[in-house]
Amino acid sequence: MLRRLPEIPFWPQLPRRSPLEGMTLQYLEGFPALRARGEGKDPLVDTRGGLAEVEAFYARVLSGDAAAFALSNERAPGFYGLEEALVQGSRPGLRYLKGHVTGPVTLATSLKDLEGREVLHDDTFREVVAVHVAQKSLWQVRRLAKYGVPVVLFLDEPVMEVYGSAYSTLSREQVLGLWGPTLEAMAEEGVLTGVHCCGNTDWAVLFESGAPIVNFDAYHFLEKMLCYPEAVGEYLAGGGVLAWGIVPTTEEANDLTEESLLRGLDEGIARFAEAGVDEALLRRQCLITPSCGMGSLAPELAERILDLLAGVAARFQG
């Protein structure tokens, strides 16, 4: 990763290494009222009997004790591996460092209470989730900031794929309320925050959130995003960055070339321009990313995807 993405490296999540690196478990250290269910299983939240733990949680938040929300090496060895690599060698091409957290919408719908209901529907614990993710983010970006370059942090929100469908009870107010504490905290820290959804969603909500970066799967869902030309244009005009997940994180990557992917990116930009979006903004305020995470892939496929990503980015810039 460091060899291929020297300008904006990120720390890797390795869920095949341990269940503790799964999207939910990786970020739960410091969360109150958890009740274990066995190794590898997401814990339940005691929403009735855990209120004293909630009080202690907010006391830690108010104390400013960032270490209380640290990622442990057991759950995030990739984070510490990145730090070690940064300390060991100079990185002359380094421009940003990228971190990430499981977004609060996904976390609030993944965590269940003792009766099996999503904590999303408990007012107290929905707020706890939002604050907890903000604290996890603060710890992370403050650690990364000491390396002297700006920090980018992504909220990974796969559950937003079902937002607005018959399978979801999520409301717009809940979504924006959950994102609010992290977006506000990151803005105060001078961090560029992105919101990532690896499927299709109501993209207008992501643009409305005020997140500086919106990341979408441009390889599989370009047609869906093209339904929002006005929102995209307004977002870019306001300084937002559109992150194009143009390299698929599937076996399809083995059959693709840098040229074909760059052609797809250029065609997507051209179609937005035809719909009235400023092409200069589309090209200037653009990040190129994989379409989704690579943590569950075989190493060879992940390397192939990173090679394609680096090649497309170099061609696009050149």
Does residue 184 form part of some domain?
yes
Cα separations in angstroms, 164 against 104, 112, 168, 169, 175: 17, 21, 6, 8, 11
CATH classification of the domain holding 282: 3.20.20.210
65-81 tens-digit pLDDT? 888 999 999 999 999 99
How many Å apart are CA 20 and CA 138, to the nearest integer? 21
What letters, b where the CB count within 10 A reaches 16 and e where it falls short, cover 38-65?
eeeebbbbbbeebeeebeebeebbeeee
- Given a cut of 90, whether residue 224 has pLDDT beyond it is yes
**pLDDT given for residue 167 in this prediction:** 77
- Given a cut of 90, whether residue 168 has pLDDT beyond it is no
**pLDDT given for residue 135 in this prediction:** 98
Confidence of residue 204 (pLDDT cuts 50, 70, 90): very high
Does residue 85 form part of some domain?
no
Query: pTM for the whole thing?
Result: 0.96
* Mean pLDDT for the stretch of residues 180-206: 96
Angle at 254 between CA 253 and CA 259, to 5 degrees: 70
**pLDDT given for residue 301 in this prediction:** 97
Residue 68 corresponds to which tokens in the numbers above? 């209380």
* Mean pLDDT for the stretch of residues 202-230: 97
Does residue 18 form part of some domain?
no
Does residue 35 form part of some domain?
no
Confidence of residue 175 (pLDDT cuts 50, 70, 90): very high
Does residue 79 form part of some domain?
no
- Name the percent of the chain lying above pLDDT 90: 92
Confidence of residue 229 (pLDDT cuts 50, 70, 90): very high
Does residue 41 form part of some domain?
no
Domain boundaries, position 113: 94-317
| Mean pLDDT for all residues in the chain | 95
**pLDDT given for residue 91 in this prediction:** 84
95-127 tens-digit pLDDT? 999 999 999 999 999 999 999 999 999 999 999
Does residue 67 form part of some domain?
no
- Name the percent of the chain lying above pLDDT 70: 100
* Mean pLDDT for the stretch of residues 269-279: 98
Edge-to-edge strand ranges of the sheet holding 112-113: 34-35, 44-45, 112-113
**pLDDT given for residue 164 in this prediction:** 80
Nearest to 208 by CA among 234, 170, 190: 234
Does residue 66 form part of some domain?
no
Count of structural domains, the chain: 1
**pLDDT given for residue 38 in this prediction:** 78
**pLDDT given for residue 258 in this prediction:** 98
Confidence of residue 41 (pLDDT cuts 50, 70, 90): confident
